Structure 1
């Protein structure tokens, strides 16, 4: 909002050299200066201020001048003029009256707006209109209020006094009204703070109208109406002021004094009374500040703003001990971030559901909200499977999701049935276009080995000391038994804690009958579920890095690929370990790069062996010897 420097000085005497200092003080009080524009023709400056939405009371030059006087502690140049009331005119309702003054004017010719007024409106970005409206806008920008132009035949406010007013039957008859609110105290009118310069506004308006229009302004008429007061009263505790504003800079443990608070409140035009017994200030908020002063904290902020916040101690109390955040909460966030970084999206499902399996293990709700959710869930993946089915119905898109939530299970301890509430991590991955061998070929679906690699990468990211291995002891499933019945036995791995060797999770391919798809459409859906508590226990804090140093050979390597027939139940890790433990030197690495089954259900594994010497290039004879040794080892694996 723009303000004229000349108009500001009409209300308060300010030194032009002190404009920079005033700009800083306004900024500290929450009113920032956006720009200052110079007008050399009339030696004026226009200040563009950023008025926040809670300071709508600063709507004119007068209200800005009042705010400046509050900050710099100077007096306004204009003194209030008390109005004279006749007691018989006052229709009192709760001792509050609304006073209106009416002027009939007869304008019979077109009036031209003077240039100086047009320039003033242009500086303040006010749109130019007819002369009377221009005068109205100028008075409003200066005083915050202005006179009204009303139609005497339509406005009901002047029906009582219209009979007393003599006027000619002219279409250009204008009634200029001025209204204000007053409170009667001991039969003496007291003007509200927001209306304290009402009489000055009236005199300035009349002088401006008569000068520009050349009309003689005659007698005015007045009338009174009562109204209900809606003043806001706020109680501010002294202890609350001390708590929020703190100690003053003069001395430690010394707070702002009561008389200083009273002076500041009067400076802010907030009339107050201090209750010494209960130690609080009772404050009457004026009508022009009801928009931003509504709570106790608003009054305290005003006190600190005027007293200056730099006069209080700004040092933060040091804490004796560093409070560590909840370890579990931190680890959960770390787990979530790791899964999101791997491309999985988090979902949230309700703990109430309908369990289709394991009726003996289901926990029923005695008084369910509806028939569709009568049970407490005993695993996470069932809801994820429902999410996948709904996704196929509406979009047929790929889905890679996870959820961290609570499960509920029965527990039999000392032949007594109790209930357990645990937190689990569940996930579902389905992607029909996960990878392709070349750009010319069609994309292929994600495989069990891809999912296994994703889970291994996730566990590595969170520094979990775990391993993926075949599940040998089904009785050790414990809380994961609610997941096991949905997974194919041939495509299933357990997630074990390396330290305790306990099963903490399970990973596998979803059974076809749970996918709810047609037989023609063959899809691979993979699910996993992990006990969050046990997973967090397996996470190790990396206090230092462990490296294994090995000299890099300068000599070339030799790579040999062979295909070996193995038993269907033979573990891949067992094959690699057997070759490395029983072979001769010069073997640098062993990799399994392919696996397939022929029509006779014989299983074949492709093994890639890399040979390299540290001090020489391997000869043909040495390589033949190494291949012969490898053939002997692989022959043992076939039996």
Structure 2
């Protein structure tokens, strides 16, 4: 928001250096961006946060200055003279969408003379970077930058039926804006129409066909309130932004609408002449109910750590425009002014008192009461994951949830639903919500490769968005994804190490699965205690070429919530084994189609309770083995918790394993 120093002096006396004023404003929340000398004036650029739309006009900034420096605020009180027939005999307004337009007002001035604006008006607009157009149009801009309420002036004689209709746009309806571009509208957009076609895009931009020109003589002045979300969606969908839409995207002062209309009419009469007709059209709701807020003085001391006298607190709130409804020694109840819709809670009033009193008055060494609280399990699990994966050589990545179409598909066996798209995204290409983290990590790995870092190992903990058929909102699970230059077994080892760190490695099952981004035969579904845990695999060479990745890459995507549920962050003590283990290796010849996971399960079932672990060692096919067969070599470790196992006990367990595998998989011992 750029404000003019000379313009501000119309409302409040400025007898301080501009540097001190901008520093003081910055300390109260209006950050100072720059100050430029424009002729005999200063153009001061202030950053206005989204919760302070009241400061999107010179009057709002002047009000802040008056409170900070205890000065009188002078607000114009426009009451222009009227004559002629009542406005209701000249025009009418039909409000068909009160939810999107809570209030709409209209005034009519006839007999104006459109010409160049006087020097003072042009100078003020030029100082803040606005190009003067004509006296009538310049007045609407002037009032908007004065009080923050946008207005629009129509050439009344170019309105079909000399009336306005506030309605939703019709499907396929087009609108030619004052920037000379044609836009196709949709039914979720609010249009200002005459009897035949749209003549304005509500809260965004006026139409070319009814704009004020040099030959215009009769003017209809619009001042309205619009639903901020509707304006934001429309402006983003069309890529059409304006100073008016910027203000309408924020909650405006509901009681400033009619004032701005009067102020605009007064200035037009002053510099363009004409006749203002009595009355004004006012449809919709005039104001909003404001809920009282109670402030406990003890809370100021507790939160700020300093004591502010009760009289000073009441003075600050009064100067800010809050109405004191009730007051006692311990508390007071206030109603916020119409221009401060952001003051809804006690903490909001405490913040106002603190910033006006001055944050610099709070000593750095003043103790503020704090209470420690234990970290949630999610935070502790995330910390363990980060430490474990960092120890394995991985770096954490943070990628965007909005991605391009090629980055949106999930990793799954069945066909995926189309991703949810965000049509009003400010990013033209990345407007789909991701269903997997892996494509984004692959893109990050490609970027690293292109910049001379080919060995990047990445992981990310974040949410994905899975469409649900027939429902408007998606499921939003949290996932843990990894991409690595290691092969399938190397990445599988990382996952097993992670599970071991979280003490959640019991009953991890690996089941072969055919997944689109992975090489056939080198991908699998992971099950943890019988529940779906995720997918792991080596990325197919065609996919790597499509991603322009040179090195071999593996990826995994895991269900974070299951990992969190099964994580044991305080494991019970277990004594070290007191008796030696006995190991045995077996090589079985069986079908290539037999998964290792199924064989390992059969071994565990058959070996009995003394089997401590079963480990895959290697496999072989070809050579002197029959076609379609493999030799699968694995190791077993046996141990009894209370005594040393005998050789006969171990041999009996091994024979049971061989017999069970022969029965289930037609496996034979390799000679």
- TM normalised by structure 1 equals 0.46
Higher relative contact order (CA 8 A, sep 6+): 2
- Larger gyration radius, structure 1 or structure 2: 1
- TM normalised by structure 2 equals 0.44
